[in-house]
Amino acid sequence: MNARLPDTGELRRLVAESVAKAGFEPTTSSFAPAMPVYEDPLSAALSGLATCVVSVTRTAFCKVVILGGEWGFESRAVAFADGGGHIRRIAEPFYAQRLYRQVIISGHPMLISREQDSLGLDEGRTLRYHDANALLLMAIGEDSSSVRGVLIIGAKQPAHFHDGQLRLAGLLARYAHSLVDYVTHPEARPPLYDDIVMLSKSIELYDLSISQHSMTLVQVAERLAKRLGCLPTEIKTIGLAALLHDLGKVGVPMAILQKPEPLSPEEWVLMRRHPEIGAQIVQMITGLSGVATIIQCHHENFDGSGYPHGLKGYQIPLGSRILAVVDAFEAITGGRVYRPPRSAEAALQEIQRCAGTQFDPQIVEAFVALIKEEGFNASQGE
């Protein structure tokens, strides 16, 4: 029976073949790297998506297969964690296609792992074909969609996914649906607002408290930006960044987010990835590059001690400096699982104490004046 199974690494050999023909040179950009231009715009778009999935989930590879005609499911894009990838169309093996159809019909994700007590023949062959220890398969599109497919994420060691990776995969599979619709029907492209709502709803589905926290920040960040003399377009960009700034926390394990004790160094590594995860996802949406930049930098500190890049002073985008102050005030007054809430007066004192180190002193000055004059939630007169 084993003699009929594909050789280990078959998929990677196909990719290497494609790379040799196309001359693809991998890059190491902080966002999804640019891919070669091909005549097939759908594969090119899915290639960028696959690269983003690998980057934010920190998994071994991502593949997108689309249901076609004569050949059934075709691989349209593959990206590997080492930077390799391809966007050549390849027909998928019949045993893998049976699993893809199950995912499409049920609409539910499928998780396959070598650690399972028993594996069916199709599951075992599909794991071996992908040279993976675990696979997560998620449907792309709905019954009414003109294009249906499956997003496949593969893990090597360990042979499982943590809950943050599963949530990120679900979010990106939902976005893949929007991406496919855009490429196949550009004339019917939904408004940018629809993509923003989709991302915002993803945060809400994950943790309602994060969503409520973000909605509060939108109002205050926009008021502060206006007070600082920002143009209307800048104010809108800052407001959208406030709405989506915690999107990356969808990818952080719940045990870390809800841990009442101090985080370990290893847990901090995962937690500190959330600005970049959120930025990479938002970056995929046309028109939101400025929003993505603010999100990526909203935990940078004015003295250069922040993360992820250690930016200092006015190297940090203005929107990020505004968001840092507003976010800190809400965190102090709203409390966290590891810290009880404090009064507005205590929060203002703490923010003023950190002016010049964590926060931009000029923004702190404007924020304190804003709170004293209007309150944190002006709509409620607080």
CA–CA gap between residue 225 and residue 230 (Å, rounded): 6
Q: Find the domain containing 17 and state its range.
A: 2-188
Beta strands in the chain (DSSP E): 61-67, 73-80, 85-86, 90-91, 110-113, 134-140, 149-155
Q: What is the pLDDT of residue 265?
A: 92
Provide the 3-class DSSP secondary structure of residue 25: coil
Q: Are residues 123 and 19 in the same domain?
A: yes
CB 209 within 8 A of CB 217: no
- Residue-by-residue DSSP string for 99-155: HHHHHHHH-S-EEEETTSS---HHHHHHHHHTT-SEEEEEEES-TT-S--EEEEEEE
Provide the 3-class DSSP secondary structure of residue 84: coil
Q: What is the pLDDT of residue 366?
A: 96
Q: Are residues 170 and 156 in the same domain?
A: yes
Q: Are residues 336 and 234 in the same domain?
A: yes
CA–CA gap between residue 265 and residue 9 (Å, rounded): 35
pLDDT digits (tens), the chain, 382 positions: 333 333 334 444 444 444 444 333 332 233 333 334 445 788 888 888 999 999 999 999 999 999 887 779 999 999 999 887 777 788 899 999 999 999 999 989 999 999 888 889 999 999 999 999 999 999 998 777 778 899 999 998 877 899 999 988 988 888 888 888 778 777 766 556 567 767 776 666 665 455 465 677 888 999 999 999 999 999 999 999 998 888 888 888 888 888 888 889 999 999 999 999 999 989 887 778 899 999 999 999 999 999 999 999 999 999 999 999 999 998 888 766 667 788 889 999 999 999 999 999 999 999 999 998 887 664 433 3
Length of the chain: 382
Q: Are residues 90 and 138 in the same domain?
A: yes
Q: What is the pLDDT of residue 188?
A: 65
Q: Are residues 31 and 49 in the same domain?
A: yes
Q: What is the pLDDT of residue 285?
A: 79
Q: Are residues 167 and 224 in the same domain?
A: no
Chain mean position to CA 204: 14
* pTM strictly above 0.85: no
For strand 134-140 and strand 149-155, is the pairing parallel, antiparallel, or unpaired? Answer: antiparallel
Q: Are residues 137 and 254 in the same domain?
A: no
Q: Are residues 287 and 140 in the same domain?
A: no
Amino acid sitting at position 293: T
Number of domains in the chain: 2
Q: How far lies 108's CA from each of 96, 100, 103, 293, 354, in Å?
A: 16, 11, 6, 33, 47
Find the CATH number of the domain harbouring 251. 1.10.3210.10
Find the CATH number of the domain harbouring 71. 3.30.450.40
Q: Are residues 339 and 201 in the same domain?
A: yes
Q: What is the pLDDT of residue 203?
A: 64
Q: What is the pLDDT of residue 97?
A: 95
